[in-house]
Structure 1
Amino acid sequence: MQPINIFAKWQVKEGELDTVLNLISQVAEQSRAEDGNLLYIINQSTTDPNTLLLAEAYQDEAALDAHRASAHFQKIVVGQIVPLLDTREVVITREISRV
């Protein structure tokens, strides 16, 4: 089975970037330690610092489900980060071919 890839675009509310970056660094560290995590990268736009792009990969849907149910995801992402975002767009994908 192919890994599950997640691409998320977060637009951080004005004045909240430092808080979000501090919180997401905690999430990244804990997420990378999860058994099914293959990748967790945080990118910041070069033209708009309040735009963050996350790239994540999990070995399968069960690993993604475990990540989303984890205490750190629920407490930090859902409970603390999401209220500090203007928008949050998440796309879940599977690779269809290698070029």
Structure 2
Amino acid sequence: MENQNPVHVFATWKVKEGQVENVLNLLKTVHDESIREEGNLFYKIHQSNSDVNTILLFEGYTNETAVAAHRNASYFQDLVLGQIVPLLDNREIVLATPLEY
């Protein structure tokens, strides 16, 4: 059975030299669309203090189905995969379930 616990996404993007402003401008639209999704809990964009070309995303979704819906959304396909990924040198993504203690 699919995990119905909240899922957090931690993404680290290393942006190609000279492209960080382009990526951040595109991410503004991705952010605005993402927070409208029914299963989105939050979408936070960070820029590294030690390397301005490193962008970190911290996202929260109600469950794995919401993550899949986010990744299948037309704006995600167009903006993230179609326009942002070609501007990156590296992209690492970790999905995690928060632990309750």
TM-score by length of 2: 0.94
What do you get for the CA RMSD once the two structures are aligned?
A: 0.8
* Counterpart residue number, 1:76: 79
* Counterpart residue number, 1:18: 21
How many angstroms apart in 1 are the aligned matches of 2:68 and 2:15? 25
* Counterpart residue number, 1:41: 44
* Counterpart residue number, 1:54: 57
The amino acid across from 2:48 in the alignment is: S
Tell whether 2:39 aligns with 1:28. Answer: no
Give the match's secondary structure for 1:34: coil
Moved over 3 A (4+): none
Task: Please list every run of 5 or more consecutive structure 2 residues that lacks an aligned counterpart in the other structure.
Answer: none
Task: Please list every run of 5 or more consecutive structure 1 residues that lacks an aligned counterpart in the other structure.
Answer: none
Shift of 1:76: 0.2
How many angstroms apart in 2 are the aligned matches of 1:96 and 1:26? 30
